[in-house]
Amino acid sequence: MEYSKDEAVQEIKKRVNAAHDDIVQFMRDIVAIPSMDGQLKDVGERIGAEMTKLGFDEVRFDKMGNILGRIGKGKRVIVYDSHIDTVGIGDLADWEWDPFVGKVEDGILFARGAVDEKGSTPGMVYGLAMARDLGLLEDTTAYYFGNMEEWCDGIAPNIFVEVDPGIRPDFVVIGEPTKMQIYHGHKGRIELKITASGKSAHAASHYLGDNAVYKMMAIITQIRELDRRFRLGLGSHPKQGNPSIAVTDVRARTDSLNAVPNQFSIYLDRRITSNEPHDEVIAQVKGLIPDYLQGEITVEELFYDEPSYTGFKFPVSKFYPAWLLDDTHPMTQAGQDTIETLWGERRKLGTWDFSTNGTYWAGKAGIPSIGFGPGNEKFAHAILEQVPLKEVVDATQFYALFPMILSEKMIAEG
């Protein structure tokens, strides 16, 4: 049976309402399974079991250990991206409830991973199954992609495109929290290490050495001043906001607590806008080093080369490009039209403050991408991490209808 848009909307709402309890239980099940430090196996198996129950054509883990679910074999490829790893819980004594069992108050689920980002998974999985059942995935191959993201933004999509399954999608929907709005970009970032070399000596005769820590003091002051200038508008982007730079870690190498350190390193998180080319950002940081110290201090761009829980390694630079999909792009408009069709309102476009897998999908690979997910990003990584369960359920409607609206947009664009 072919459905008109209005008929599809009514049928989707009816089916989502009927599946309400299953969607909520699925959500409670997956937040209850710890998946910190990229350990996706157990939660991936639970998600895989749900996709198998719903009749996905293919359900499997990729080489890295991300969980894949596929429906259809059409020419147009769309990926629903949801990272299912989480940050740790810190000191358990700081939590007033079990961070994995969580608690529900006034319709809000409090749990680790509730908003960052397991909250989008139930809607994506159920939404794709409903879209298939209603014939809304014509000429489309649709993937649910539950992946590792917290340790290295974009590495899992990189694997998806270049290794397994080795497919370049036409469109990607990222499920990070967007307050049920369409997000269409965010700042990027570069992780850097600055290392000063010195000469060790006994602390009692420290003047015989060359203290590497002291060499870094003026540079740290310059970094703080540069960040202040960023907040005043240097490098600002009208939609991505202000860039930033921060010292996030330090390491000293010393023979003992009674010796002058002969090496001192600081680690930087540099958030970048689309106004800032990669090479200019690196040159700017190198420019903070005084001329007389150029031979004694180095700036290094970091790489991620940690093995996943399956042992798979894929070294990548810790350069994560900024990206922004144009307001008028058919995919952006399809997202906006889906919201308006379902809920009768035009919501404001937004961008994330943090970075997502969009750094690869859109930033490196140039694949049109948008974000849509339940919850507010301000609760990510917090003890009060939370997501409204109504949004978790309602998001299912969006994920089910979006492929149809996108297809209409693409046909209209020719």
Q: SS3 letters for 371-389?
A: ECCCCCHHHCCCCCCEEEH
Catalytic residue among 50, 62, 81, 85: 85
pLDDT digit string (tens) for 319-351? 999 999 999 999 999 999 999 999 999 999 999
| pLDDT tens per residue across span 225-266 | 999 999 999 999 999 999 999 999 999 999 999 999 999 999
136-179 residue pLDDT tens: 999 999 999 999 999 899 999 999 999 999 999 999 999 999 99
Task: Answer yes or no: 85 catalytic.
Answer: yes
- Rounded Cα–Cα distance for residues 183 and 174 (Å): 9
Residue carrying structure tokens 């015989």 = 208
pLDDT given for residue 254 in this prediction: 97
- The closest of 268, 264, 248 to 319, measured between CA atoms, is 268
Structural domains of the chain ordered from first start: 5-186+322-413 (3.40.630.10), 188-304 (3.30.70.360)
Q: Is position 133 annotated as part of the catalytic site? A: no
Can you say how many angstroms the Cα of residue 247 is from the centroid of all Cα atoms in its chain?
Answer: 22
* Tokens 């998001």, located at residue: 395
Selection from 177, 137, 175, 130 nearest residue 22 by Cα: 130
pLDDT for 267 beyond 90: yes
Catalytic residue among 11, 50, 149, 210: 149
pLDDT in tens, 64-98: 999 999 999 999 999 999 999 999 999 999 999 99
Q: pTM score, two decimals?
A: 0.95
Confidence of residue 412 (pLDDT cuts 50, 70, 90): confident
